Structure 1
Amino acid sequence: WYKNFPVEDDRIYQALLRGRLDVTRRNHLELELEKSQTQVGRDSVSLTDISGEQTDLAEQHITASADHTFNRLTLKLTGTVADYNYENQAPVEVFDPAVADFVPFQDIRDYREDEIKLGSTYQLKPDTAVLLEGVINERVYRQPIDSAGFRKDSSGFRLLSGMTFALTGRLTGTLSGGWGEQQSVDDRLSPVEGPLIDADVIWQPDPLSKIEFIARTEIDETSLTDSLGAIDYYYELSAQHAFWRYLVLGTYVSYEKANYADDPGKACRLPHYLVIRPIHYRSGRW
């Protein structure tokens, strides 16, 4: 909470219920229910008002999955139904010359997403495995046509392959790459497509230090009327060190870029961050 800048206040919560049933040693069923609220900031790919308050985003989803292990091969099927609801800000009216009157403007980004994911992991060695993942999804908007007359409903897919590894006990992580595409039902809008990069690699030069690299790619929605969305690339490099038993300090630098479909000129380079912060501090044993 900010004393002098209440528009920057963060109102975030999450409620999560997760269960797992071990049918056999090789078969498992999982169910997850979640409801959360976050804020969509002004550096977001999808925004409505850069001068007003941050927009509350309410998200709820249900996820069910089943997996089976065949010796070294593990297959997992996951289905998710998610609902995204953007809070409407204070009423705004825009003059429409076609009707010679003011028309109320509301947030029209609310949508539901249905997703099915099939993942496979093959264990080459106890500390090395290769993975392959395929995802198909469908996004349906509550308001099917935006203010410019475009239909934003879409369907898409993602294909990723990579590996998980643990080398010498000091270098561990996951690396994967692939291709993703989101195609609108409106042929006038170009698809959001491009390479995907996901990574989480940790290097521990000694027991007291850790260096971590994170990369992730998401196909995001946008409030721009002439674009279906953007591919968002995020990279982060962080380091931390335990100076004493009860004090661990860390720093990180991050970079984020969003490439919009239909208009490369709208490529948005989001802010870089260089932060030094205490990872955690303990004054006692617990």
Structure 2
Amino acid sequence: MCFSVTGSGPPRANRQKMPGWKRSVNPRSLLLGNRLGALPCRSVFCLPKSASRRKAKAEMTNLMRRPDTRFERNWIARLGPAALVGLGLPVMSVAPLQAQIMGTATPGTPGAIQGELRGPGVAAQPITPTSPMLRNADIDIQTPNAKGKFGLKRQPNTAARRQLGSGQTRYTGYPGVTPSPAPTTASVPPANTAGARFGNAADAQTMAPRLGRGTTPYMVAPGLNTAAPPAQRRPVAEDDPFSPVGLRLGTMLVKPSLEGDGGYDSNPTRSGVTKKGSSFYRTEAGIIATSNWSRHQLDVDLRGAYTGYTSISNANRPDGDARIALRLDATRDLTFDSQLTARIDTENQNAVNLPGGTNGRTPFYTVGGALGATQNFGRLSIGLKGTVDRLMYSDANVGGVMVNQDARNLSTYGLRLRTGYEISPGIKPFIELGADQRVHDIAVDTGGFRRDSQGVTARIGSTYELARTLTGETSVGYTIRDYEDTRLRTLKAPVVDSALTWSVSPLTTLNVRAQSDITETTLANSSGATAYRGTATLTHAFLRNFTATASLGFAKTDYSGVNRQETMLTSGLKLEYKFNRLLAARGSYAFERFHVNAANESYNAHTVMFGLRVTP
């Protein structure tokens, strides 16, 4: 019994040891090999005729398992003819199909496929790259130096073109980075190449489109831009939907206002003897401007008003103030602050510093400037500030005669040094030392006194912001002022300066202001006066557009060297109703009580006023 095997048989050294082995050619083996279409059978292994079929099968199996034979793939000998035929058909069919799809760019050796299936053909021409170009290989995955468990450790198959914008050309980390090419208006549909044979690679390339080159336009959606839309921000809720919007002038936000009022005053002249009431009108205009810069800041606040009385003409008076502040951020820890201020107001005809018998109100003017710098060293801050203030008085009308008051005009030059340390983000205690000098335009006043003086003030306090409900600054200290005239004694007094804002609730706010200082006087034998002032204002919003404000004020002035004390008590109530951002209606009531320890100078006054305010 003979078995045909492929290969050259057992090694030459072992052929003599194997019984019944001989080299011969079996016609049946040749016929079987031709049917398989595989390699021809070269050797035949024959067993003696006396051996049984079972023994022959065992010997054959043992021969296949022996390590000294040249049959390294044992599973081939166990396959039957039908299995070998089934295994060969896919091998013969995959290569032509891959060549049809990929053309000359087929991995492997295109020449071998052409020689075995199609015979010799024209050499394939290299493909010229066309736009859009491929991106560079991902260095983390596709390069030979790829690292990590996802690295392929090999060169990618660049024959398969990847479509841009499809997520396969990831280089920047996410799909859709590269804009897709412009859509083609006309394209050739792919031909049916099933079962087709091509004479050369050019025919296959022409009939079958290359992988990755779309035959239809690539679009995310018709009419939709492939660029990622900008992220939408959540609109910020407005604190006051009825607040004026203002006007944009370059980088400045300007909020102008105009107000017209009318009302009644029970004592326009603030006289303790003649108490005659009169109706009045009042007009006021203002501008508030704030810069919108990334660095530095500019604030402008201008206000001017005029009040005219219908029955008493000499009680008419102007009033107004202006403030311009500029902050320069030189570095992160160094800032420069500058400020210009101006104010116009009037004195009551019964004021103690005016000449006796003055008629009407006498205007006075105040202008000032300040320049300072603050340097931060971590939590420690050091600030130095210089100030210049100018106070000027107009001539007084005494019985139709204008009396010069230049002797009251003075200039004040001051310098302050403040050192603070931030113990927490909301609390920063500080120590402040200040010195100033007051110089009058006329060295000797009408009473023969030289009133130029020098003063020193020391304060200790803190700025605070507690839970965003309590903010402000409070300081207490002591001041000393020495005069050039030896007849005027040195003034010494405690001083306080405090500004507090307390948000009681989202609808209620309390503001408290307290201040003290040493003021000038023209009274004979009096060095000056110590003045204390304090106000409290409570604002409550009943509706989003309806608010009420109640105020209470107290002031006391004590003159040194003479027996004179003045006390002022004020209270008031204001109502405001906003129709919209542009128009608001206002109404107010004010009470004023002035008391002095002198005859015929104390008085009371009641004022009622209504008006409209326009804020374009």
TM-score, normalised on structure 2?
A: 0.42
Structure 2 residue runs of 5 or longer lacking an equivalent are: 1-306, 583-616
Partner of 2:339: 32
Partner of 1:215: 514
1:193 Cα deviation from its structure 2 partner: 1.9
CA contact (8 A) 1:45 1:221 kept: no
CA contact (8 A) 2:345 2:363 kept: yes
Partner amino acid, structure 2, of 1:12: D
Q: For residue 125 of structure 1, give the secondary structure of its aligned residue in structure 2.
A: coil
Q: Which shows bigger deviation, 25-34 or 184-193? A: 25-34
Judged with a 3 Å threshold, the aligned counterparts in structure 2 of structure 1 residues 32 and 238 are, in CA distance, closer, same or farther, namely closer
Q: Which shows bigger deviation, 2-11 or 244-253? A: 2-11
1:109 Cα deviation from its structure 2 partner: 0.8
Provide the rounded CA distance (Å) in 2 between the counterparts of 1:92 and 1:155: 36
1:205 Cα deviation from its structure 2 partner: 2.3
| Residues 98-122 of structure 1: per-residue CA shift (max 9 Å, x gap) | xxxxxx9532210111111112221
Partner of 1:74: 381
Aligned residues: 274
Partner of 2:551: 252
Candidates 500, 505, 524, aligned match of 1:201:
500
| Residues 180-201 of structure 1: per-residue CA shift (max 9 Å, x gap) | 1221111110122211112222
Judged with a 3 Å threshold, the aligned counterparts in structure 2 of structure 1 residues 220 and 123 are, in CA distance, closer, same or farther, namely same
5 Å-filtered alignment, 1:37-56, equals: 37-41=344-348, 46-49=353-356, 52-56=359-363
Structure 1 residue runs of 5 or longer lacking an equivalent are: 95-103
Provide the rounded CA distance (Å) in 1 between the counterparts of 2:581 and 2:342: 34
Provide the rounded CA distance (Å) in 2 between the counterparts of 1:169 and 1:45: 44
| Residues 202-230 of structure 1: per-residue CA shift (max 9 Å, x gap) | 32221101122211112111121221211
Judged with a 3 Å threshold, the aligned counterparts in structure 2 of structure 1 residues 205 and 22 are, in CA distance, closer, same or farther, namely closer
Structure label with greater radius of gyration: 2
Candidates 526, 551, 554, aligned match of 1:227:
526
Partner amino acid, structure 1, of 2:564: K
More strand by share: 1
Judged with a 3 Å threshold, the aligned counterparts in structure 2 of structure 1 residues 64 and 43 are, in CA distance, closer, same or farther, namely farther
Judged with a 3 Å threshold, the aligned counterparts in structure 2 of structure 1 residues 254 and 80 are, in CA distance, closer, same or farther, namely same
Judged with a 3 Å threshold, the aligned counterparts in structure 2 of structure 1 residues 171 and 32 are, in CA distance, closer, same or farther, namely closer
Partner of 2:371: 64
CA contact (8 A) 1:45 1:230 kept: no
Provide the rounded CA distance (Å) in 2 between the counterparts of 1:43 and 1:219: 21
CA contact (8 A) 1:156 1:183 kept: yes
Partner amino acid, structure 1, of 2:404: Q
| Residues 137-192 of structure 1: per-residue CA shift (max 9 Å, x gap) | 11111111122221111110111111122333333332211101221111110122
CA contact (8 A) 2:356 2:398 kept: no
Provide the rounded CA distance (Å) in 1 between the counterparts of 2:523 and 2:330: 47
Query: Is it true that 1:7 corresponds to 2:314 in the alignment?
Result: yes
CA RMSD of aligned residues (A): 2.4
Q: For residue 314 of structure 2, give the secondary structure of its aligned residue in structure 1.
A: helix
Provide the rounded CA distance (Å) in 1 between the counterparts of 2:322 and 2:470: 34
Query: Is it true that 1:242 corresponds to 2:541 in the alignment?
Result: yes
TM-score, normalised on structure 1?
A: 0.87
Partner of 2:572: 275
1:82 Cα deviation from its structure 2 partner: 1.8
Judged with a 3 Å threshold, the aligned counterparts in structure 2 of structure 1 residues 233 and 225 are, in CA distance, closer, same or farther, namely same
CA contact (8 A) 1:77 1:118 kept: yes
More helix by share: 2
